[in-house]
Structure 1
Amino acid sequence: MASQGTSSGPQQNLSLPLILAFASASIPIQALVLAISVHLPRYFASHVGLELAAVGAAFAMVRLIDIPIDVMLGTAMDRTRTRFGRYRLWLVLGAPVLMAGLWLLLQANNTTSQLGLSGILLFLYIGYSMMYLSHLAWGGVLGPSYEQRSRVFGAIIGLGVVGAVIVLGIPIVMNEMGHTDGEGVRAMVWFIIAAIPVTTLLVLLTTREKITPETGKAFRPVDYLTLLKRGNVLRLLAADLCVTLGPGWMAALYLFYFKDSRGFDTTAANLLLMIYIAAGFVGAPFAAWLANKIGKHRALMVTTTIYSLGLVLIPFLPKGNFLIFAPGMFVVGAMAAGFGVMIRALTGDIADEIRLDTGREWMGLMYALTIGTTKIASGLSALTFVLLAYIGYQAKAGAVNTPQAIQSLELVYIVGPIVFVMIAGACFIGYKLTPERHAEIRRRLDERDALTEGGASALESLTGDTELVTASRPS
């Protein structure tokens, strides 16, 4: 059990129970991500009674505002240093903000204005960013070695899948019990509200935080622009954009494709989607294992290649055959979960490289940047509907599409994700931050951290003044 941060020495190997306890915070976080992307917009328009255009505008407006907020939060987290911890503090602060935002969301009704809904969503997103960013950044420093970081993020993505599957199942169970779709969504939100304090407390009681000492010069805002001049940062952001855009593109067209082209009804298509998502519980730890065998960048290339080959096979499977499609959806879904593991783990490695060069912690800002590219990719995925209209596909219920329109839908559904995902893998061709190179970086960081902490301890023993010691450390 641990209740405060520590900054002494390299961390020991992390046990599986400790990793799982820490990763549990991703259950409500990823449950919320799925609820926001799939259920909440429809809930506001269909069950609360708000205008569809107002709902869409509110979500789009908040997304645009939220990206720079993430950067500011990441910067603030990296500069935080307290006895309670650095990222631990922000996780604790973010939990009640997110819970309050979810509660406010449940209070919205048909008299809520677009501005009012935007305010609720902005408050919700700030709490979400505080929790999600701090959890990712803490995970980056929790397992500092190359192998440990893969295990930590494999668990985070894997348990996040559990949260997503639970949220998918709640409306189904509620409908079977005779409740409306709207009541099912509200039950989903209450589950997330209840899970936040439980998992946050579990993380706090089981996990210590190593606060990395800083030896660099005082912070200057312009210094952050130098990140975008670093080759590995640009590789990472480009890969994250493409690896999110590919599956997001597919998700936006999923129901249209599986119903009109593959011959499934809505129930069967949703069950296949659940298999795709649930496969991440296997795919995430598999990706972590593979990364520790062949390297994270190579593991990303392997998973993107298998994912693309799986999509190539889909048009050749017999239409409407659930038993044949299910294994294929499982494999593709498992590989997609691996993308998240690799990107998050690679982010931590690159942040270590930058800290060695600059003497300052960049973990929070690095994860803020990748979350930003993820959000941009999610927004770009919506352009698929514009493309559908351009090719002449009719998306309205009851519309009859020509064979040419359906053939165009098939090409758009398959080609787009394959192109983007393969570009993501190609971004790491020639990547030189290998396991061996990262081990050297960690060795040098640990040596420097030990010298910095040793000097601070010696100063404290000579002066007996902890405030002087704190003030002597670079900000």
Structure 2
Amino acid sequence: MTKAKSGTPAGHLNPLTVLAFASASIPIQALVLAIAVHLPRYFATHVGLSLAVVGTAFAMVRLIDIPIDVGIGMAMDRTRTRFGRYRVWLALGVPVMMFGLWLMLQAGPSTTQLALSGILLFTYIGYSMVYLSHLAWGGVLGPTYEQRNRVFGAVIGLGVVGAVAVLVIPILMQQQGASDSDGVRAMVWFIIAALPVTALLVLATTREPITVEHGKSFALRDYLTLLKHGNVLRLLAADFAATAAPGWMAALYLFYFQDSRGFGVVEANTLLMIYVAAGFAGAPAVAWLGNRIGKHRALMVTTMVYSLGLIVVPFLPAGNFLAFAPGMFLVGAMAAGFLVMIRALTGDIADELRLANGREWMGLMYAMTIGTTKIASGLSALTFVLLAALGYQAAEGAVNSPEAIRTLELVYIVGPIVLSMAAGFSFVGYKLTPERHAEIRRELDARDAAYAEAPGLGSLTGDDMVLPPKDLPPGPRA
């Protein structure tokens, strides 16, 4: 990969470099799926904690962790080392995340809600450091409209490997006579092992372009102005809804497919594996679509198709694997498309902000979307509390009444349909088109090149890398 004098990458991105970089998403997405589907149920069913304790702990920690994400994002954007901004945070986050996962394996029936919350918070901090630094690095690795789609298409596509792995592991373990609990523990060990391997691959093979900064140093109050920016608000609304829709379903998936749809554990996990594996096709296909019709339009298409697919689910014959498999593939491909488009749109909006203000916003922008993701995931976890209040019994061997099953069915299907449609609707009237983004990139590249060629300025680092506002070419305000 070549590098422009301004510090931004130029030219063609090497596909092998992109794939190597994307490999870090394997353990990240493995953990995302394990937390969404298996770990809450593991703590409630096998460890023996109550549904209310588990649901409250997961929801509370995700909400508490949000301001930590914002702080990490701000710190990343202000980090200046000879090794780069985001690679340092990726390297530091890996051991934190590994230790938090190990602590999860030590939980038992005597674990209190406070202790479980502490374990989850520690794990989430490490997860945020790894995930956020990887996303922000990806945002600067592919700076053009098309490159960003390809980078995040690869990131989400390879993340499917990790997600599929945590689905295959319990199936293989059960075939060997192991318990469901043993399968979940094996998932966690897989993530612990994959983290350092993929992180080292990224650090060894991928250069980090460092964007040039021209504006004054920002105070905390300046970051709050993001919440007045129309495109930022669109993005956060869409990210919340697009995360809440599949997250809501994921938390209840095994309960719904076993108690309502009549599938066994192996069949339900296999259908879920089809849903997740569809991301191999969905991520690159939606990335391609985004380059043809625009990212915001591609997001609208995926959310509409996803909602229509969900409407069909209750009408499929219960227990019929072949009837469910195509639909699971379709909605899984669309869900992967959500992620690709939202991650790529985040980088575009960060470019718009950098042109207006002269500072790097990439880390904070991804921190904010991770924040909305965690809010959505946390509220999704509260479906456990709702089910418990409505009389549904989750304990192993419990028998639920027909009324409780109907409650489960309604809770599972209605919310995600509304939320996914809302995600697409958030980008009606969006004006940061491919043509507008190309203009922004031309202005950024010209300004960065002029700065790099200015006598004595190109060699400065840290807070010295600032030009007085009067020396800046005019740009649109955020």
TM-score, normalised with respect to structure 1: 0.90
Question: Is the CA contact (8 Å cut-off) linking 1:279 and 1:333 kept in structure 2?
Answer: yes
Match of 2:331 in 1: 332
Question: What amino acid is aligned across from residue 241 of structure 1 in structure 2?
Answer: F
Question: Is the CA contact (8 Å cut-off) linking 2:51 and 2:394 kept in structure 1?
Answer: no
Distance 1:179 1:259 in 2: 20
Question: Is the CA contact (8 Å cut-off) linking 1:239 and 1:425 kept in structure 2?
Answer: yes
Match of 2:476 in 1: none
What root-mean-square deviation, in Å, do the aligned CA atoms of Structure 1 and Structure 2 show?
2.7
Measured after TM superposition, the shift of residue 117 of structure 1 is 3.5
Question: What amino acid is aligned across from residue 23 of structure 2 in structure 1?
Answer: S
Match of 1:101 in 2: 100
Question: Is the CA contact (8 Å cut-off) linking 2:170 and 2:180 kept in structure 1?
Answer: yes
Question: Is the CA contact (8 Å cut-off) linking 2:5 and 2:449 kept in structure 1?
Answer: no
In the alignment, is residue 195 of structure 1 matched against residue 194 of structure 2? yes
Match of 1:233 in 2: 232
Distance 2:369 2:440 in 1: 22
User: Which of 432, 456, 463 is equivalent to 1:459?
Assistant: 456
Distance 1:315 1:115 in 2: 38
Measured after TM superposition, the shift of residue 11 of structure 1 is 2.3
In the alignment, is residue 129 of structure 1 matched against residue 121 of structure 2? no
**What is the aligned residue count?**
465
325-334 or 385-394, larger mean C-alpha shift: 385-394
User: Which of 456, 469, 473 is equivalent to 2:465?
Assistant: 473
Unaligned regions of 5+ residues in structure 1, if any? Answer: none
Match of 1:80 in 2: 79
Question: What amino acid is aligned across from residue 214 of structure 1 in structure 2?
Answer: E
Unaligned regions of 5+ residues in structure 2, if any? Answer: 468-478
414-423 or 177-186, larger mean C-alpha shift: 177-186
Question: What amino acid is aligned across from residue 14 of structure 1 in structure 2?
Answer: L
1:459 match: secondary structure: coil
Question: Is the CA contact (8 Å cut-off) linking 1:394 and 1:400 kept in structure 2?
Answer: no
Question: Is the CA contact (8 Å cut-off) linking 1:71 and 1:368 kept in structure 2?
Answer: yes
Measured after TM superposition, the shift of residue 178 of structure 1 is 2.7
| Residues 207-286 of structure 1 aligned to structure 2 (within 5 Å) | 207-286=206-285
322-331 or 11-20, larger mean C-alpha shift: 11-20
Question: Is the CA contact (8 Å cut-off) linking 2:6 and 2:451 kept in structure 1?
Answer: no
Deviations 1:337-369 (A, max 9, x none): 100111111011001001100101111111111
The alignment-based identity, stated in percent, is 73
Match of 2:364 in 1: 365
Q: 1:45 to 1:308 in 2, by over 3 A?
A: closer
Question: Is the CA contact (8 Å cut-off) linking 2:242 and 2:420 kept in structure 1?
Answer: yes
Match of 2:399 in 1: 398
Distance 1:278 1:227 in 2: 35
Match of 2:138 in 1: 139
Distance 2:111 2:409 in 1: 40
Match of 2:344 in 1: 345
Distance 1:424 1:469 in 2: 40
Deviations 1:395-452 (A, max 9, x none): 67312315xx656654544332221111111111110000000000011111111112
Match of 1:304 in 2: 303
Q: 1:16 to 1:116 in 2, by over 3 A?
A: same
Question: Is the CA contact (8 Å cut-off) linking 2:307 and 2:421 kept in structure 1?
Answer: yes
Distance 2:289 2:187 in 1: 34
Question: What amino acid is aligned across from residue 199 of structure 1 in structure 2?
Answer: T
TM-score, normalised with respect to structure 2: 0.89
Distance 1:100 1:122 in 2: 12
Distance 1:389 1:118 in 2: 20
Question: Is the CA contact (8 Å cut-off) linking 2:57 and 2:117 kept in structure 1?
Answer: yes
Distance 1:363 1:336 in 2: 24
Distance 2:253 2:265 in 1: 11
Q: 1:89 to 1:251 in 2, by over 3 A?
A: same
Match of 1:20 in 2: 19
Deviations 1:279-316 (A, max 9, x none): 11211111111101111000001111111111222233
Question: Is the CA contact (8 Å cut-off) linking 2:393 and 2:399 kept in structure 1?
Answer: no
Deviations 1:320-347 (A, max 9, x none): 3211211111011110110011111101
Question: What amino acid is aligned across from residue 236 of structure 1 in structure 2?
Answer: L
